[in-house]
Each structure stands twice: as structure tokens, then as C-alpha cells.
Amino acid sequence: MAVVQPLKEVKGKGLVKQEKGLKELQPLVKKLRDGARVELRLVGE
């Protein structure tokens, strides 16, 4: 993955739009993961 580069370098290369898109997606992904964890806990108990 290209996350190894410092954020300042990435922003300098004009990937700010992509970064904003990722920030918008992160909450959705987190919700999905949390939902899956809750379901697994209910099944495991």
C-alpha cells in the first residue's frame, strides 16, 4: 500500500481529493465492522 509516504508528500502531489474520499468512507467501514462484531458476539454467547 502507498500509505508509507508522509501525508505532506501525498498532499503535495495533489491527492487531497482522494484523502477526503477515504475520510468519508472510514466511518461507513467502521459501522460495518462494529455491526459484524456485535453479531458475532451475540452468536458466540
* Domain boundary assignment for the chain: 2-44
10 touches 19 (CB < 8 A) = yes
In angstroms, the CA 19 to CA 25 distance is: 10
* Residues constituting the chain: 45
Question: Given this model, what pLDDT does residue 5 score?
Answer: 56
Residue 25 C-alpha cell reads as 468512507
In angstroms, the CA 11 to CA 27 distance is: 21
Q: How confident is the model over 1-45, as pLDDT tens digits?
A: 455 656 566 555 565 667 777 788 788 888 888 887 777 677 766
29 touches 37 (CB < 8 A) = no
24 touches 15 (CB < 8 A) = no
pTM over the 0.75 mark: no
